Amino acid sequence: MHAVTNIQKYSIHDGDGIRTTVFFKGCHLRCWWCHNPETQRFEPELQVDTEKCTGCGRCEAACPADAISFSEDHKAEIDRDKCIVCGRCADVCVGNIRTLVGRDYTVKELVKICLQDQMFYEESHGGVTLSGGEVMAMDIDYILALVRALYREGIDVTIDTCGQAPYSHYEALLPYVHTWLYDVKVMDHEKHKKYIGMDNNVILDNLKGIAKAGARIYIRIPTVKEVNGDRESMAAIIDFLKANDIRPPQVNLLPYHSTGSHKYGKLGREYQAADLTTPTDEELESFVKQWNDAGFANVKIGG
């Protein structure tokens, strides 16, 4: 399992400098606010912007599984149970509103694409970021081969992870990874279960493990008012880091935003986080100060 949903060049918010970010498909967590829901499931999916459908009927004719029909307002509708995700409808769609999400690349293909922007990485101290979904939940032999190949080319690799994967995966990659962007959401177990879909034991253990092994880690905290947008939640994370002697060179508070919500409809799913809210600018600033006061110097709002 190592399908890719997107390769984003001139990626400037997923680590240092100018980067290419590879988004892998599949994640064990189900964060309510996930702004890349197309990367949650491991298997390929069809994303359709039905709003823009002109009802021309080409997709219906091309579908080998008879999964497409037309609603009264002449919009193509998919029966996702019948759909075999072959992508033929996307090929013929003249409105270009259908996208097959999830494509396999060989390591060689991916390395070639990632090397295209080497000049920019070298000038800006950037590199390649593997993200997702959850890159650490992919076929680790494949990821290891990819990371080693990039490492051999002298490219800084950053791994953007939620922490939910076997520790052996982390251990295997440690020697080749320049920086880890490690998500920490909330220390409270119940809240974590509610909003993220499972507890945080594995996540925190893995963090302790790679920190002890000397990894360079940026801690990233998606900040949502109802989940962790309060002094106590921040204090809990700070205490955890201190207790385990984790001293990240950078901490990013990532304010919650609902910009991924429009994607849920395109995937035939519902958006759970509609009622969640973003902390105010003042609150965010006060969290930064709280972190600074606790001895963490480089704390940023945003990626």
Partner 1 sequence: MEERGMNARIKALRKVSMETQPHIDLERAKIETEVYKKYEGKVSLPVLRAMVLKEYFSKKTLYLGEGELIVGEKGKDPQSSPTFPELTCHTIEDMHIMHNRSVVNYTVTDQDLKDQEELIIPYWKGKSMRDKLISSMTHEWRKCYRAGMFTEFMEQRGPGHTCGGKNVFTKGYADYKEEIQAAIDALDFMNDPEALQKKDELDAMLIDCDAVMTLGQRYQRLLKSEAARCEDAVRKAELEQMAANLDVVPAHKPQTYWQAIQLYWFTHLAVTTELNPWDAFSPGRLDQHLFPYYEKDVEDGILDDERALELLECLWIKFNNQPAPVKVGVTLKESGTYTDFANINTGGIKEDGTNGVNAVSYLILDCMDEMRLVQPNSNVQISKKTPHRFLKRACEISRKGWGQPAFYNTDEIVQELLNAGKTLEDARQGGSSGCVETGSWGNEAYILTGYLNIPKILQLTLYNGFDNQSGKQLGPETGYAWDFATYEELWDAFAKQLHHMVDVKVRGNNVIEKLYANYMPAPCLSIVTNDCISNGKDYNNGGSRYNTRYIQGVGIGTVTDCLSAIKYNVYDKKNFTMKELMTAMDENYVGHEDILNMVQNKTPKYGNDDDYADDIMQDVFTLYRDEVTGRPTMCGGQYHVDMLPTTCHIYFGEVIGATPNGRLARKPVSEGISPEKFADTNGPTAVIKSCAKMDHCSTGGTLLNQKFTPSAIAGDTGLENLASLIRSYFAMDGHHIQFNVFDKETLLEAQKHPDDYKDLIVRVAGYSDYFRNLDEELQNEIINRTAQSF
CB of residue 255 vs partner 1: minimum separation in angstroms?
8
Decide if residue 209 touches partner 1 (CB under 8 A): no
Q: Which C-beta is closer to partner 1: that of 105 or that of 240?
A: 105
Locate 229 and state its tokens: 């947008």
CB of residue 160 vs partner 1: minimum separation in angstroms?
11
The SS3 assignment for 53 reads coil
Asked whether the beta carbons of 39 and 132 are under 8 A apart, the reply is yes
Burial class for 200, CB neighbours closer than 10 Å (0-12, 13-18, 19+): buried
Decide if residue 96 touches partner 1 (CB under 8 A): yes
Sorted by sequence, the CB contacts under 8 Å of residue 127 that are 6+ apart come out as: 15, 16, 17, 19, 121, 150, 155, 156, 157, 158, 178
Q: Which C-beta is closer to partner 1: that of 180 or that of 256?
A: 256
DSSP states of 130-144 = EEES-GGGS-HHHHH
Total binding residues toward partner 1, as defined by CB under 8 A: 30
Q: Which C-beta is closer to partner 1: that of 255 or that of 279?
A: 255
Decide if residue 277 touches partner 1 (CB under 8 A): no
Asked whether the beta carbons of 134 and 161 are under 8 A apart, the reply is yes
Decide if residue 10 touches partner 1 (CB under 8 A): yes
Sorted by sequence, the CB contacts under 8 Å of residue 234 that are 6+ apart come out as: 228, 287, 290, 291
Decide if residue 75 touches partner 1 (CB under 8 A): no
Decide if residue 284 touches partner 1 (CB under 8 A): no
CB of residue 10 vs partner 1: minimum separation in angstroms?
4
Decide if residue 276 touches partner 1 (CB under 8 A): no
Report the residue from 69, 71, 106, 116 that binds partner 1 according to the rule CB under 8 A: 116
CB of residue 256 vs partner 1: minimum separation in angstroms?
9
The SS3 assignment for 101 reads strand
The SS3 assignment for 299 reads strand
Decide if residue 141 touches partner 1 (CB under 8 A): no
> Residue 170 gets which letter from DSSP?
H
Report the residue from 1, 56, 86, 202 that binds partner 1 according to the rule CB under 8 A: 56
Cis geometry, peptide bond prior to residue 197 (ω within 30 degrees of 0)? no
Q: How far apart are CA 273 and CA 36, in angstroms?
A: 13
Q: Which C-beta is closer to partner 1: that of 117 or that of 134?
A: 117
Q: Which C-beta is closer to partner 1: that of 37 or that of 255?
A: 255
Binding to partner 1 by CB under 8 A, coded x per residue (else -) over 27-46, reads: --------x-----------
Report the residue from 205, 257, 280, 297 that binds partner 1 according to the rule CB under 8 A: 257
* 179-to-38, 80, 169, 224 alpha-carbon distances in Å: 25, 39, 15, 25
Q: Which stretch binds partner 1 (CB under 8 A): 174-182, 206-214, 255-263, 290-298?
A: 255-263
Asked whether the beta carbons of 198 and 28 are under 8 A apart, the reply is yes
Locate 224 and state its tokens: 């949502």
- List interacting residues with partner 1 (CB under 8 A): 8-13, 17-18, 35, 56, 58, 91-94, 96, 116-117, 119-120, 123-124, 126, 254-255, 257, 259, 262, 302-303
